[in-house]
Structures are given as structure tokens and as C-alpha cells.
Structure 1
Amino acid sequence: MGSTSAENHGSEGVGRRALIQRSAALGLISVPTMSFLSACASGGGSDDSPKDGNKGKTSKDNPFGVEKGSKLDVVIFKGGYGDDYAKAWEATFQKTAGVTSTHTGTQEISGKLQPRFNAGNPPDIVDDSGAQQIKVDVLYKNDQLLDLAEVLDAPSVDDPSKKVRDTLIPGTTDPGLQEGKVVALNYIYTVWGLWYSGKLFKEKGWSEPKTWDDFLAICKDAKSQGIGGLAHQGKYPYYINVAIMDMIAKKGGLDAMKAIDNLDPKAFVGSDAAQAGIEAIYEIVEKGYLMPGTNGLTHTESQTRWNQYKAAFITCGSWLENEQLKQTPDDFDMKFMPMPLLPGSAMPFEAIRAGSGEPFIIPKKAKNLPAAKEFMRRMLSKEWSTSFAKEANSLTILKDGVDSAVQLRPGTQSTVEASKAAGDNTFRFLYTEWYSEMGASIEAASNELMSKRIQPKEWLKRAQAAVDKAAKDPASKKNHRD
């Protein structure tokens, strides 16, 4: 979660892709603009500028004054993308900038880093992701995050006549906004939706379902053959919320999405789109179309059973393919698709949730701020973006970010095609970044719903209560989407 609160926690498998002709790169980098994702916000936390330690001499090629011989403390969430990409970056950084790195790859972000933040001794740069992510809104409220404007306004490595921010896919810095400041850089361009096996679908004679009725028909046929219809990562209800929230957004359009992000008193209770979306998801539960046992499984356990053809569909973001490299049969033919449509939906079938995930942060009290800022600036160069694509089988938020094309695996190729088909019909919720407590409460309600302990009406009630609670926080007035 993506970005996001629970995305990408998991296995460490990472694969390299062989280079192919540049023509493929054109498909790889053709992604929708997301101008309407821009969030309007005002206000801010402390404007105190931290004092840069390890300060060297600034120059055209060294805008932050990185000091050779200094050290950089790097912590990377070792989930679906692994951490080999960061090790490659660090090796390059040592050769070109003379900065050595202390590298920590872990899934225990909160456990390892919360004590360091509390003690005023944080790392220099952090990939703050996974199930144990330290919530960005919490860090911001505690005045522990650097405003990244200086990095975004610095000259681009590839074209110094441009600012770094002008080289990024539009809208991709929005999830890192807190009160109008970008305090987290969501680095990876991500799409979210449904996944299936092209091989299984071909064997069963199934076609990609564009309507909810067609989706349910495949689930019914799968069940009759001893196959689950939908798998989800039950122990992490973030994933089923991908399906639920996508259904609501596609049914009610951007207004339904913004109502949730803007904490509308009728975001859920009183919303026809929310009611239709949650009732549709509950149909899967009522009709017994869930993969048996999926409610009690972790993300990788559920995904692995899906890789074993024990379910027709699974919900996830585009880190799935890399996360499951070791578990995916060679001929599985992984495919991504948008959520199918309910009758009378405001958005077309091709509309997808798309944007940036995997938040990188620079703590205010980092000991080597110049190197941390320069490291992030170089992350947004073609060289480092291409290096990431090779190591992690995923795209970054850098426009034209791959130097020469890389051979895409089937799942990643299908996300590229889905992005091209979506065009401007993309959307992205921001409440998970702005209101983590609200997000957790909605996830808890979804967990109860999928386990059949509550029904849609109660889910709507609990989700609205979470919205109403967030709206009472005075800080919520500083975040708003137009």
C-alpha cells in the first residue's frame, strides 16, 4: 500500500529482467495523468529547518553539499520488492558520491524504528511501508518528518534545467501530502485490482468479466469444480478493502471517493454507491464463493494457494508478481484486471485505482541530511529508476523512467496495458494516508463482514462512525480534496 498501510509485506523474492528493444519501453512508460488526484490543503506543522550535519561544499552537481566520506543510515522495508534494489543504489552512491551506507532490510519497521524516533536517533532515509509501517500522519503530527520540498525543487539529475517535481508522473506526490506539505515520497507507480491466471482461464473457457454478474458467474462455475471464486489475504483486510473501495468509487464516481476522503457525513450511511458496493462484495460471502480458509490466511499464504489454482481471483496491488516469484508456476500467465462494474456505474470498466505506493521518508533529525536528500534526488534519476525496474519488476513515479526497455513479466505487462486502457479514468483514495486510525477501523469492519459476523448495514454504520470520529479531529480541516 502500495502504498499504503499494508502493501508489500511479504516474501523476499526479486528477479532480474533481460533488456529488450526500446519499443517496449514506450508501452512501459505510457501511463495516465492523474491531475484530478491533486489534493488542496493548507496549514502546516513546524517550519523549523533542521541543521544539516555532515555538510560539505555545495556545487551544481552537489546541490545539498554532500560530504565525501560521510555515512548514510538506510532502512528499507523488505517486502514484495525485496531490498536488492536499494543495495544496488547504495553501491552506486558510494562510488559516485563517496558516501558509505549502513543498510537494514526488515519487515519490522515499527518495531525497529519507533524506539529510534522516540530517542531522537532516527535513520537518515526510510522506506516506511508494510504491515508494521509507522503511520506517516502520526510521524508528521509529532513533527518528525522533513518537508521534501527542497528535494522536489532541486535540479533533476537527468536535466538540470528542470526541477525534480517536474519529472514525475502527475499526481504521484499527492499521497505524501500532510497539510499541504509533501513529507513522504511514494516512489513506486502502482495499480490495484483483481488478478487471475491466464492459463486457468484458458483451460476453463472463462473470459475476463466486465460486469459483476459475469464475475459471480465465474465464481459459481469455479465453486462447482472445487475451486474458490475469490481469495483474499484475510489476516490483512487492507486487501479486501481494495475491492470494496474500488466498487464504491466505480459505482458512484469521483464524488463518492472524495466524500470518503473529505469525511462527508454521508460518506457511507446515506451513500447509494457505498451500499451497492458493500452489498456486492457480501454476495461473494453469502454464496460461498470465497476460497475456503482465506479469511484466516496471511497475504503470502493466500496468494500462494491462488498460485496453486485454488482460487480464480485475488485482490492485490501490482507488487504481487514480484512478491510471488518463487511460488508462481512458469506457465501461470499472471494477469491484472480492473474491478467489474455494477449496473449504473459512473465510471467505465477500464477505470482503475492507480497512483504511487511505497513511501520513503527523511526524518527531521537525520544525522546526514545532505546525503539523505541527495540520495532521494538520485532515486528520481533514470539510472536509479531503471535499476529499480530491473531488480523489483515494477515501475517508478519518474516519467520516461526506464533508460532502455526491460522484458516485462506477464503480470507487469498486463498492468501497463490496463493503465493505457484506463487513460484518464484513474482514481486514488487518500484517507489511508491522512487518517490511519479511520482506515484501520474500516479494515476491522471488513474483516468482520468477510467472516460473516456482521452484514452490510452494520459495515456501513461502522465505516461511517470511523469517518465521523476522524472529522471531529481539528487537524482534519487541513486536508481536503476539491
Structure 2
Amino acid sequence: MSNHTDSPSDLTRRTLLRRTAAAGLLALPAAGLLSACVGSSDEPEAPTQYSGTVSAENPLGIATDKPVEIVIFDGGLGTKYATDVHMPSYTAKWPNSKITFSSTQEVSTTLQPRFASNTPPDMVNNAGSKLMDMGALVGAGQVADLSDLFAAPSVDIAGKTVKDTLVPGTVEAGTYNGKPYVLNYAYTVFGLWYSGKLFQDNGWTAPTTWAEFTALADKMKAKGITPFSYAGANAAYYMYTVILTSAAKIGGPDVLKAIDNLEPGAWTNDAVKQAAKAWGEFSAKYGDKAHLGLKHTEVQLLQDQYKVGFYPSGSWLENEQAKDTPADFKYQVAALPSVTAADKLPATGLYAAAGEMYFAASKGKHPQAGKEYLRHMLSKAGAKGFTELTKSLTVVQGAAEGLTLSPGLSSANAVLTAAGANNFNFRFDAWYKDLDLEARSATNELMFQGGDADKFVTRIQAAADKIKADSSIPKFSR
């Protein structure tokens, strides 16, 4: 994730992809973060911060002789892009500003105590199954405003500000109540992933209608292949993204906007209910209940062994599975098939968005250097190097030009082009961690534990209503 999990995102990453996947049944201590971070009489003092003089050469005013600390999530994207591309770029420009680098697979476990004590690193990649509650961090004043980053000149695209170089919607994707706090860096395409070799060998094509989907699933099942699956232990985010993608195609993208804005009855909307019913019934017939206890990499390995047909994920998947994927597997991605003949969006409609969250900590020792590090990530060279190493696109326009794309990334580009303007996303998962966790748990119940669509939508609606009524939780809208 991500989601995406353990990697977007997310996309979520796993927000796409934001794409940030997390445990379907495991709650993280978001409330503890809020209580620890929000000002109180015993709140620790913020550290003395380093600063320098703003100039044309130093647009963010870093202290050029002071260190910067960064922490990168080690998931599906790995960390090589940081150590081999972005860190050398920063160091070449600022050789006397030493980088302290570390990585973690459990961001909240590692960093939450440091934010609570006002001793955070300067720049954080907040992703994975144990990501921190982004909305709580923003609400607690722990995240630096990135307006000056986006207004600064690009590192290597002459005559343009950083914002000018980005895919439209990038800044907005990390905006909370009018201010940009988060850089969603990876551009994630989410859909149903499959083996091009498996399909070619069997003469199969990706389905665009639900009837074609079930007919193909019957053929897979007859060959001993589980037609569709995801991992219940830590990737329920992937599955509720599928359900909400179908809901948006059935009822239009405003269905997702209403969910983000905590509107009354947003989850019990008929489009959400129809999508949940279709996928719940499909899973009961074509899924594998034993996968409730598996982690994402375990189900992904089964797919690499041709034991699973379709797997829902973001475009980080190909890189995440590189070491286990047969050389001729040929990852491909398809948009979700239409659920009904009356869907408001075409079958090519797609969940695609900027994901994988990065931010500068407002109470770090050198937050401006954290932003400067992000500026180097957003250089054309930095974005191109990221794509080469991770097989994932970035939000920097044109950065992948001239690259030889892998099968999965080439396929993701193709479905994104086919979607045109019909791509969409949601943001509640980054805004309200408790709602994200409830959605994961309800999704596992629906898909693996005999739940039904009515219970699914009613349960999550109740969680959304509770959050809306709680004045202690910062609210966001779009």
C-alpha cells in the first residue's frame, strides 16, 4: 500500500495509493497521538531550530552547515531511491548539510514517541501498515506548511516553480483545510493485477462487464486457480478501495466526495451498497476464506505462482514482488469491470491518484532542510531516478519520458490513458484513521466472514457519524 501497506499508499503509498495499507483488524493508537501531540501544560518544549538566509541559491533558507534527518518507510518501494538518487542530489547541492538517514517498516511505532516529545525527524515518509494518523498530526500542529516549497524554483527545470512541474491536483491532494501539508509523491494506478503470460497462454482477455468477469472466474476456477483474492491480515485497504472504486463507477465520483466530507448517509448510498453486494457475493463464490489470515506478500506470492488470478493493488506491486516474480510473468493491470449496465462512469474509469505521503515536521530541528530534501525529490532527475528504481510513476510531469517501461508500468500507463478524465480517488483514509480502520475490519467481515452489504454500509456509516459528532477530531473537506 500504497496504498498503498507495505509500501502506498495507500496512493494512499498506500494512500494510493496514497498508498497505505494497514491491518484490517488492528487498531492503531491514533487517539494517543492526538493527546500526546496537542498542546497541554506538560507539553515538551520544541527544539531550537536551524535556519539560514533565503536567497536565489537557497530559496527555502536552510542552514547550509547544519544536518537534516530523514526517515523513509521500507515497503514495496524500498529505500534505494532515497539512498541512491535523492540523498546524493541533496548532498551534491549542500555538502556541509549532512543527512542522517534511517528506515522503518513500522512508522508509528518508531516515530510516534518522538513526535509526542517534540523531537521528530525533519522529513518523514508516512506509509505502511503502521503509518501515523496524518489528520491527527496536522491537527496537532506537527506538520509544516509546504507553501514555500511549492513556490520555490524547481531544482532542474528552468523557469518553473516546483508547483508548475507537478501533475494537476498534486498540491490539492496534500491540502488540509486550505493549506498544503503533505507531498503525495508517487502517482499510483489502482486496479486488478494479473499475469500477462497466464492470460496469453489461455487466450483470456481482461473483462469489462460483470458477466465477463464471472465467466472468466469460472474458467480460472476450473483450472484450479483462485480467481480473486486479497490478504485479510494487513491489506483490507486494497479491498475497500475496490468496493469504493466500483461505487464511484456506479454512482459517479461524488459518491466518494460525500464519504470524504462525512455527509449524512454517504456510506449507505445505494451505489456503495450495490458495490459491496457485488463484491461480497463474488468473494463468496470465487475467493478463498483461508486468505483472511495471510499478509499481502503471501497472497502476492501465490499469484506469482499462478495460484491466484486477479489481485487488487496499486502500481507499486510489480516492484514489491520483483524478487519472486517469474521472468516471463508480465504484470498487467485492468480497470475494474462495470457492475451494472447503468454505471455512470465507463468501464475504463479508474482509481488513480498521487499517493505515498512525505512531510516536513514543523517541530524538527531543521524543517526547512526537510522541505529542501523534498525539492530534490521533485526535481526531474530525482523523479526519473525514482521511476527507474521503483517501477512507479511520480507526480513530476514528463519525468518518465525516454525510460523503457516495465510491463506493469507500461500497462498502468495504458489504462490511465484510457481512463482520460474518468479517474478519481478518496481521501478519508488519510484524514480519519479510525474510519479507515473500521472500513478495513468491516471489509474483512464482508469478504471473509459471512457479512453482507447492509451490515457493511451500516457499520461504517455509524463510525463516520461518530467521528463527525466528535468535536475533538479535526475535520477536513473537499
TM-score by length of 1: 0.87
Structure 1 counterpart of 2:126: 128
Written as runs of structure 1 = structure 2, the 5 A alignment for 1:304-315 is 304-315=301-312
Structure 2 counterpart of 1:66: 62
Aligned-pair CA distance for 1:96: 2.0
Structure 2 counterpart of 1:92: 89
Structure 2 counterpart of 1:401: 399
Residues in 2 aligned to 1:412 and 1:161: alpha-carbon distance in whole angstroms? 30
What letter corresponds to residue 403 of structure 2 in structure 1?
Answer: V
Gaps of 5+ in 1: 11-44
The answer to whether the 8 A contact 1:291-1:310 is kept is no
Structure 2 counterpart of 1:76: 72
Structure 1 counterpart of 2:244: 245
Structure 1 counterpart of 2:455: 458
Aligned-pair CA distance for 1:195: 0.5
Aligned-pair CA distance for 1:209: 0.2
Structure 1 counterpart of 2:409: 412
Structure 2 counterpart of 1:25: none
Moved more, 219-228 or 319-328: 219-228
Aligned-pair CA distance for 1:57: 3.4
SS at match of 1:358: strand
% identical equivalent positions: 37
Aligned-pair CA distance for 1:204: 2.0
Residues in 1 aligned to 2:473 and 2:6: alpha-carbon distance in whole angstroms? 22
Structure 1 counterpart of 2:352: 354
Counterparts in 2 of 1:7 and 1:469: CA distance versus 1, 3 Å = farther
Aligned-pair CA distance for 1:264: 2.1
Written as runs of structure 1 = structure 2, the 5 A alignment for 1:18-417 is 53-88=49-84, 89-98=86-95, 99-159=97-157, 161-236=159-234, 237-269=236-268, 271-287=269-285, 289-291=286-288, 293-343=290-340, 344-402=342-400, 405-417=402-414
The answer to whether the 8 A contact 1:80-1:322 is kept is yes
SS at match of 2:87: helix
Residues in 2 aligned to 1:209 and 1:382: alpha-carbon distance in whole angstroms? 36
Aligned-pair CA distance for 1:5: 6.9
Q: How many residues align?
A: 441
The answer to whether the 8 A contact 2:7-2:73 is kept is no
Residues in 2 aligned to 1:339 and 1:160: alpha-carbon distance in whole angstroms? 40
What letter corresponds to residue 186 of structure 1 in structure 2?
Answer: N
The answer to whether the 8 A contact 1:249-1:257 is kept is yes
SS at match of 1:328: coil
Structure 2 counterpart of 1:467: 464
Residues in 1 aligned to 2:278 and 2:246: alpha-carbon distance in whole angstroms? 8
SS at match of 1:67: coil
Residues in 2 aligned to 1:308 and 1:57: alpha-carbon distance in whole angstroms? 56
SS at match of 2:208: coil
SS at match of 2:170: coil
SS at match of 2:382: helix
Residues in 1 aligned to 2:176 and 2:3: alpha-carbon distance in whole angstroms? 15
The answer to whether the 8 A contact 1:9-1:80 is kept is no
Residues in 2 aligned to 1:240 and 1:443: alpha-carbon distance in whole angstroms? 8
SS at match of 1:173: helix
Moved more, 69-78 or 301-310: 69-78
Structure 1 position 445 matched with structure 2 position 456: no
Residue deviations 1:213-245 (CA, integer Å, cap 9, x gap): 211111122112211010202112111112111
SS at match of 1:348: coil
The answer to whether the 8 A contact 1:250-1:348 is kept is yes
What letter corresponds to residue 273 of structure 2 in structure 1?
Answer: Q
What letter corresponds to residue 433 of structure 2 in structure 1?
Answer: S
Structure 2 counterpart of 1:16: none
What letter corresponds to residue 187 of structure 1 in structure 2?
Answer: Y
Gaps of 5+ in 2: 11-37, 40-45
The answer to whether the 8 A contact 2:136-2:474 is kept is no
What letter corresponds to residue 362 of structure 1 in structure 2?
Answer: A
Aligned-pair CA distance for 1:471: 2.0
What letter corresponds to residue 314 of structure 2 in structure 1?
Answer: G
Aligned-pair CA distance for 1:160: 5.3
The answer to whether the 8 A contact 1:193-1:242 is kept is no
Residues in 1 aligned to 2:298 and 2:173: alpha-carbon distance in whole angstroms? 29
What letter corresponds to residue 437 of structure 2 in structure 1?
Answer: A
TM-score by length of 2: 0.88
The answer to whether the 8 A contact 1:5-1:135 is kept is no
Moved more, 127-136 or 260-269: 260-269
The answer to whether the 8 A contact 1:79-1:323 is kept is yes
The answer to whether the 8 A contact 1:194-1:314 is kept is yes
The answer to whether the 8 A contact 2:8-2:355 is kept is no
Residue deviations 1:25-74 (CA, integer Å, cap 9, x gap): xxxxxxxxxxxxxxxxxxxx99xxx9983323332121123333321111
What letter corresponds to residue 73 of structure 1 in structure 2?
Answer: E
